[in-house]
Amino acid sequence: MVHGGDILSYKNLYEGDIIDFSSNINPLGPPKILGNVLNNAFKDVDKYPDIKYRNLRKSISRYLCCSDDEVVVGNGAAEIIDVFIMMFNRIVVFHPSFIEYEKRARVHNKEVLELYLDEDFNIDEALLYKNIKKGDCIILGNPNNPTGKRLEEDRLKNIVEVIEDRDAFLLLDEAFFEFCPFYYDSIKLFRESRNVAVIRAATKFFALPGIRLGYAFTNKTIAQKYYELSLPWSVNTFAEEAGRVIFNETLYIQKTKKYINEQRHYMIENLRRINILRAFDTDCNFILIKLLKGDENKLFDFMIRKGILIRKASTFKGLDKSYIRVAVKDFDSNKYLIECFKEYEKE
Amino acid sequence: MVHGGDILSYKNLYEGDIIDFSSNINPLGPPKILGNVLNNAFKDVDKYPDIKYRNLRKSISRYLCCSDDEVVVGNGAAEIIDVFIMMFNRIVVFHPSFIEYEKRARVHNKEVLELYLDEDFNIDEALLYKNIKKGDCIILGNPNNPTGKRLEEDRLKNIVEVIEDRDAFLLLDEAFFEFCPFYYDSIKLFRESRNVAVIRAATKFFALPGIRLGYAFTNKTIAQKYYELSLPWSVNTFAEEAGRVIFNETLYIQKTKKYINEQRHYMIENLRRINILRAFDTDCNFILIKLLKGDENKLFDFMIRKGILIRKASTFKGLDKSYIRVAVKDFDSNKYLIECFKEYEKE
């Protein structure tokens, strides 16, 4: 299993609907208003999307509090990561992190510097500073997938200072930004930098993985370079239309933040009562777990028979078969997961 | 103007709806059944598309009469062209042709061999044979954009034979395939070859440029390589669902073929009665025109004031400002275009 969300591959293992804890999507579903919007968008599928995405970028720039020409859009965050990788000679990653960082760098025949997080899954800044050089692109998940950890504001500021000093580049992947308690906004912090891009996405928070809408803030010179490299019309009409309304759904946004916050606490608290695992701190809507009994395969087989799909984590470099990842979902599903863990403990 | 279909850039030049002759989309619009299908697809936007596109590829392979593992899918034909380009060291193009062939090769820092069609816009086979070598990828539009010409079956067979002999690769871009009168099917001809891929797309014939669905036939070893290089989830849920129904719309397909055939004859016949231009033969749903009076800018300004958007063609290498391209649209629009040309002639 290379990515979460691949329910179709396991459908035959369970009669009935499988609860997908392997992909980290807002359990409240997409904003209700989208039904009508997408219905209307159907009228426009016989036209090309705006090749310059003028209205979409306007809507995103209002949401991010930056200007239109500092916004880039893509076919999910995946395309944005890919296009940024194309711009640089060497890519620096910290394992464990989202597998596509390294994979896309290899696809583009880039040199890859593979560093590892320390044993608490923090970035060893000394290690970073010793290694980076001009022209490098450092990619950091913030919060990081699969660890769930967000960089502290001061540490992030230090990192950016050193990166600017060396004339390297920082690609911050903040696809899970809105799930986090609000401590700081990287875009506000680095608005003036020429060495930073901040990726966000509609995929996770707005529960729209099927629609493929990623976007990022970056300096406008780099944004221009991005559009020279990216494919024409890569964002489809439905994503274009959705992006014009979802960011105005402030009630939905608040409700989701509150709900995820409550459920995250509920899950962490209850998982920590189970003795055969260790649940790591998380800033967002998924939890990395170290199993003290059995391994990812044993638990996977146990859970799939209960109708639960978990994410095995040994495909992340730096983790072994004792790790798994689960999403924070709706209360009933979360409660059921906890119960199943308790059963697994007793077995 | 780098691509057709960019109506938004010219909206302020005309009060009322501009008729878009610059993009080559089926004037009958998308199959009616899609309204319901896409409505249902909305239920699934909170899930990732199937990362392996199992059902979609099954539907396409039935339509193309090949097997599932010989089908690749992409975010429009544009992504498919891009991924194939990544596989090869040198890209060979014949100007004038679709601008993205060369552009994407440059983006990926590939060597590009730029050859030119002869003065009748045919491929000079001797020129091709003299120049290609092992590892080259030759990209040919079939029919070719903007010339509208399709290769004759025997000439194409010869070309493939030489390409196989040299161990080069042929990427046939047949995005306009269904608009052509049926003479031969490249997929049937080259089903056994390891050196050919044939791109098709939902964009043009099924009038779905907004949905972004491209697909191609190729040898299954190359198809595997394609999926190693392409982005995950690059085809969105709406495209995935649409692709499962549109190919069964046989009545729609027949009706469109008949309609375009009639309208193509109507336009060619009437354009040839106008003395200030030369309309080239075409096998599909657009027509390359050489202006004998004025140039693309003069005609563009004249037409936009009439509410018509044409495609200036000087951005295609090998053509100058005396060339333009127009789509074959619905009868009323076509008739209006002819009338406007007559006015332009008198002016």
Mean pLDDT check: name the lowest of A38-42, A90-94, A139-143, A315-319: A38-42
Of the candidates B242, B191, B228, the one whose C-alpha atom is nearest the C-alpha of residue B83 is B228
> Over pLDDT 70: what percentage of chain A?
100
- Contact check, Cβ <8 Å, A78/B232: yes
Task: Give the H/E segment covering residue A112.
Answer: strand A111-116
Residue to test with chain A: of B233, B256, B315, most A Cβ within 10 A: B233
Nearest residue of chain A to residue B237 (CA atoms): A210
DSSP string, A283-309: SSSEEEEEESSS-HHHHHHHHHHTTEE
Chain B residues touching residue A26 (CB < 8 angstroms): 46
- Contact check, Cβ <8 Å, A48/B233: no
Residue to test with chain B: of A101, A238, A285, most B Cβ within 10 A: A238
Residue range A227-231: mean pLDDT, rounded: 97
Chain A residues touching residue B8 (CB < 8 angstroms): 50, 52, 54
pLDDT (tens digit, 9 = 90+) per residue, B98-130? 999 999 999 999 999 999 999 999 999 999 999
What torsion, rounded to 10 degrees, do the Cα atoms A218, A222, A225, A226 define? -20
pLDDT (tens digit, 9 = 90+) per residue, B285-326? 999 999 999 999 999 999 999 999 999 999 999 999 999 999
* CB-side neighbour CA atoms (13 Å) of A290: 11
User: B38 to chain A, minimum CA–CA distance in Å?
Assistant: 8
Q: How many Cβ atoms from other residues are within 10 Å of residue A19's Cβ? A: 23
CB pairs under 8 A between A and B: 163
Q: What residues 69-98 of chain B have any CB closer than 8 A to a CB of chain A?
A: 75-76, 78-79, 82, 86
- So what's the pLDDT on residue A139? 98
Q: For residue A277, give the 3-state DSSP assignment.
A: strand
Task: Point out the residue among B42, B51, B210 whose CB comes nearest to the CB of A44.
Answer: B210
pLDDT (tens digit, 9 = 90+) per residue, A273-290? 999 999 999 999 999 999
- So what's the pLDDT on residue B128? 95
Residue range B149-156: mean pLDDT, rounded: 96
Residue A260 has pLDDT above 70, yes or no: yes
Task: Point out the residue among A42, A86, A212 whose CB comes nearest to the CB of B35.
Answer: A42
Residue range A4-20: mean pLDDT, rounded: 85
ipTM over 0.85: yes
Mean pLDDT check: name the lowest of A5-9, A63-67, B249-253: A5-9
3-state SS of chain B? Answer: CCCCCCHHHHHHHCCCCCEECCCCCCCCCCCCCHHHHHHHHHHHCCCCCCCCCHHHHHHHHHHHCCCHHHEEEECHHHHHHHHHHHCCCEEEEEECCCHHHHHHHHHCCCEEEEEECCCCCCCCHHHHHHHCCCCEEEEEECCCCCCCCCCCHHHHHHHHHHHHHHCCEEEEECCCHHHCCCCCCHHHHCCCCCCEEEEEECCCCCCCCCCCCEEEEECHHHHHHHHHHCCCCCCCHHHHHHCCCHHHCHHHHHHHHHHHHHHHHHHHHHHCCCCCEEECCCCCCEEEEEECCCCHHHHHHHHHHCCEECEECCCCCCCCCCEEEEECCCHHHHHHHHHHHHHHHHC
Query: Residue B277: left if φ>0, alpha if ψ -120 to 50, beta else—which one?
Result: beta
Chain B residues touching residue A244 (CB < 8 angstroms): none
Mean pLDDT of all residues belonging to chain A = 95
- So what's the pLDDT on residue A6? 84
Residue B347 has pLDDT above 90, yes or no: no
Cβ distance A141 to A132 under 8 Å?
no
- So what's the pLDDT on residue B4? 80
Q: Residue A5: which pLDDT band, with cuts at 50, 70 and 90? A: confident
What domains are there in chain B, each with its CATH number? 7-29+250-346 (3.90.1150.10), 34-248 (3.40.640.10)
Q: What residues 240-279 of chain B have any CB closer than 8 A to a CB of chain A?
A: 240
Residue B220 has pLDDT above 60, yes or no: yes
User: B325 to chain A, minimum CA–CA distance in Å?
Assistant: 17
- So what's the pLDDT on residue A38? 84
Q: For residue A58, give the 3-state DSSP assignment.
A: helix
Task: Point out the residue among A210, A233, A238 whose CB comes nearest to the CB of B78.
Answer: A233
C-alpha span between A9 and A3 (Å, rounded): 12
Nearest residue of chain A to residue B211 (CA atoms): A236
- So what's the pLDDT on residue B1? 54
Chain A residues touching residue B107 (CB < 8 angstroms): 86, 228-229
Residue to test with chain B: of A17, A18, A236, A244, most B Cβ within 10 A: A236
Q: Tell me the C-alpha to C-alpha distance, in Å, between residue A288 and each of A39, A94, A318, A325, B268.
A: 38, 16, 13, 5, 65
- So what's the pLDDT on residue A7? 81
- So what's the pLDDT on residue B9? 83
Chain B residues touching residue A7 (CB < 8 angstroms): 47
Angle between helices A296-305 and A331-346 (to 10 degrees): 120
- So what's the pLDDT on residue A15? 83
pLDDT (tens digit, 9 = 90+) per residue, A158-188? 999 999 999 999 999 999 999 998 889 999 9
- Contact check, Cβ <8 Å, B75/A75: yes
Q: What residues 17-36 of chain A have any CB closer than 8 A to a CB of chain B?
A: 20, 23, 25-26, 29-30, 34-35
Cβ distance B37 to B164 under 8 Å?
no
Task: Give the H/E segment covering residue A153.
Answer: helix A153-166
Q: What residues 159-198 of chain B have any CB closer than 8 A to a CB of chain A?
A: none
Contacts of B135 (CB under 8 A, 6+ apart): B88, B89, B90, B167, B168
Provide φ and ψ at B135, rounded to 5°: 90, -10
User: B76 to chain A, minimum CA–CA distance in Å?
Assistant: 8
Chain A residues touching residue B49 (CB < 8 angstroms): 209-210
A209/B contact by beta carbon, under 8 A: yes
- Contact check, Cβ <8 Å, A236/B238: yes
- So what's the pLDDT on residue B35? 85
Cβ distance A333 to A43 under 8 Å?
no
Of the candidates B212, B225, B342, B325, the one whose C-alpha atom is nearest the C-alpha of residue B276 is B342
Residue A1 has pLDDT above 80, yes or no: no
Nearest residue of chain A to residue B209 (CA atoms): A48
- So what's the pLDDT on residue B40? 81
pLDDT (tens digit, 9 = 90+) per residue, B161-191? 999 999 999 999 999 999 998 889 999 999 9
Cβ distance B324 to B276 under 8 Å?
no
- So what's the pLDDT on residue A209? 94
B239/A contact by beta carbon, under 8 A: yes
pLDDT (tens digit, 9 = 90+) per residue, B228-279? 999 999 999 999 999 999 999 999 999 999 999 999 999 999 999 999 999 9
pLDDT (tens digit, 9 = 90+) per residue, A105-131? 999 999 999 999 999 999 999 999 999
pLDDT (tens digit, 9 = 90+) per residue, A43-56? 889 999 999 999 99
